[in-house]
């Protein structure tokens, strides 16, 4: 069978290298990855291996956002991890290169690599170039809100739509894709600068070829993910996510990867590390710059060197280069004088993490907020209750949400959604309507990496599991405090208990197919929303 797909006698003496390609034409994030897979395969072959390319799926978060299709987004992470595991284990590959370029296939790739524990390297597909007038995909969502507010015309919205996404690559700011690429590199599973290259660039082509070559060397040296992934390497990843002002989705995905690597990582680790790590990068969505502009001044490697020298990274962690992190960074040059994308340690954007892990009577198992400080650090307001993203979005666009409201979107968690949809449409509409610092939004769903404002997600336990978010009523006073790390509704424990006793679960969204299977299997968001915890 292998002769029929091109193997010769000599090939059977070589290490077989699986090349997992997430190529797809459903999204610009992945439309170029077939070419990158060919380059990785060529690199593996040139180094004395025998490459075998195979595919897995991708769904587009941006296209499914705000629709029932978004229920499949987080679920696709498990499908991707499962499919890479299945093919690699069934075919008996000696090594693995995975190439991802969208929010869920990236953690899905690394989850599979951790499970399989054979020599592996992750390659990021690369970031998209900025659109005209410094636009990106988030510009479109916020322009929709602008139309509803009357500050953006239909003609202006169309121009934004036509120019925001100029070609291949992942979303342009420090959204989930660029966040996860940076985290994966910091944890040692990508080659240097893989996370900081444009999708269409010579640097990205070279990165793919080098990854193919490097994985053959890992096979020969017997270096596996279990030699690289450790509690300390995950702490490095968390540190980078915070310093870059990255996506809340990184919390969910790093918990899931750690689970597959059999490493004890919890929400409290994010809180512990967040106390001492500042936000240094002035990157979108809350900042001014895009990933392409960070690439122009040197990418994330100089930032890693800054953090290492300050004792905020573990330099002795092994990486896929076969060398420890500190050795990889030894000769990295500092950022050029005068740049203002990455701030100095003594002049941070925020002195501690923007990712606040909150606990309280609304979230006994925790919730995750992305609060940069620009929107304030404390909010108290009246609950406005919605049982779906669509209902909340309609209320925002029609002007029914006013200053002082706390929008509560529930039954959108891992089980209740099912699928834990991202709330970019509501948060984009809030910003577009000019309410970004005037209202808050809490949900047992999650947020796009492009979301910003006073938003709290991953509320656990979720409503479908009988969490307290299920019994909040219209007009209840909710307080979110990023300094005390609390989220509470102003009712007594006795009243909460009474409401929960009288609570009736919402009917299941579906009883058949993938969504039904996921709803039965998925764990709490506080555990990474994985599907194999008994």
Backbone angles phi, psi at 119, to 5 degrees: -45, 125
* Spatial CA neighbour of 437 closest among 410, 423, 458, 455: 455
State how far the Cα of 306 lies from the Cα of 139, in Å rounded to an integer: 32
- Choose the catalytic residue: 292, 425, 448, 523: 448
N-terminal to C-terminal alpha carbon distance within the chain? 38
Q: Are 127 and 112 in contact (CB under 8 A)?
A: no
Residues whose CB is less than 8 angstroms from the CB of residue 492 and which lie 6 or more positions away in sequence, other chains included: none
Please report the sign of the dihedral spanned by the C-alpha atoms of residue 47, residue 48, residue 49, residue 50.
positive
Mode of pairing for the β-strands spanning 120-124 and 95-100: parallel
Backbone angles phi, psi at 164, to 5 degrees: -70, -30
Q: Are 468 and 497 in contact (CB under 8 A)?
A: no
Is 139 among the residues known to form the active site?
no
State how far the Cα of 314 lies from the Cα of 343, in Å rounded to an integer: 21
Q: Are 303 and 342 in contact (CB under 8 A)?
A: yes
State how far the Cα of 243 lies from the Cα of 350, in Å rounded to an integer: 9
Residue 275: C-alpha distances to residues 258, 270, 351, 478, 534 (Å): 21, 9, 8, 25, 33
State how far the Cα of 237 lies from the Cα of 216, in Å rounded to an integer: 25
Which of the residues are catalytic? 448
């Amino acid at each position: 069978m292998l002769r029929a797909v091109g193997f010769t006698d000599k090939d059977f003496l070589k290490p077989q290298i699986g090349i997992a390609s997430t190529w797809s034409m459903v999204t610009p994030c992945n439309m170029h990855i077939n070419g990158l897979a060919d380059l990785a395969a060529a690199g593996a072959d040139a180094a004395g291996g025998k490459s075998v390319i195979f595919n897995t799926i991708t769904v587009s978060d941006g296209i499914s956002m705000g629709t029932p299709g978004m229920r499949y987004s987080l679920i696709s992470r498990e499908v991707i991890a499962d499919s890479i595991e299945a093919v690699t284990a069934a075919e008996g590959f000696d090594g693995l290169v995975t190439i991802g370029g969208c929010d869920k296939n990236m953690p899905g790739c690394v989850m599979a690599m951790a499970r399989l524990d054979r020599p592996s390297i992750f390659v990021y597909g690369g970031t998209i170039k900025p659109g005209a007038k410094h636009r990106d995909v988030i510009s479109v969502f916020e322009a929709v809100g602008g139309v509803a507010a009357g500050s953006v015309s239909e003609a202006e919205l169309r121009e934004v739509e036509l120019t925001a996404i100029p070609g291949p690559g992942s979303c342009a700011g420090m959204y989930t894709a660029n966040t996860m690429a940076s985290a994966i590199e910091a944890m040692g599973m990508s080659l240097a600068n893989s996370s900081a290259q444009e999708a269409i660039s010579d640097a990205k082509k070279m990165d793919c070829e080098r990854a193919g070559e490097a994985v053959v060397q890992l096979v020969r040296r017997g270096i596996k993910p279990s030699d690289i992934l450790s509690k300390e390497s995950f702490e490095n990843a968390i540190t980078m996510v915070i310093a870059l002002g990255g996506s809340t989705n990184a919390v969910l995905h790093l918990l899931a990867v750690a689970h597959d690597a059999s490493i004890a990582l919890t929400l409290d680790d994010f809180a512990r590390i967040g106390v001492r790590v500042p936000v240094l990068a002035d990157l979108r969505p809350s900042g001014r710059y895009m990933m392409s502009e960070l690439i122009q001044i040197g990418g994330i490697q100089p930032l890693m060197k800054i953090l290492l020298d300050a004792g905020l990274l573990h330099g002795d962690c092994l990486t896929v280069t076969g060398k420890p992190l500190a050795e990889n960074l030894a000769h990295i040059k500092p950022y050029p004088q005068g740049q203002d994308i990455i701030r100095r340690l003594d002049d941070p954007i925020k002195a501690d993490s923007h990712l606040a892990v909150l606990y309280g009577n609304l979230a006994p198992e925790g919730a995750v907020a992305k609060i940069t400080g620009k929107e304030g650090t404390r909010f108290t307001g009246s609950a406005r209750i919605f049982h779906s993203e669509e209902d909340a979005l309609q209320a925002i666009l029609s002007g029914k949400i006013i200053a002082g409201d706390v929008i509560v979107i529930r039954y959108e968690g891992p089980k209740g959604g099912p699928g834990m949809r991202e709330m970019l449409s509501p948060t984009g509409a809030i910003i577009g309507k000019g309410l970004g610092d005037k209202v808050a939004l809490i949900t047992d769903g999650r947020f796009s990496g492009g979301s910003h404002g006073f938003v709290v997600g991953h509320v656990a336990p979720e409503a479908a599991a009988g969490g307290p978010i299920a019994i909040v009523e219209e007009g209840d006073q909710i307080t979110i405090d990023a300094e005390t790390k609390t989220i509470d509704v102003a009712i007594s424990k006795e009243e909460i208990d009474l409401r929960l006793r009288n609570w009736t679960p919402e009917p299941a969204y579906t009883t058949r197919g993938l969504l039904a299977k996921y709803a039965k299997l998925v764990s709490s968001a506080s555990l990474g929303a994985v599907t194999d915890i008994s």
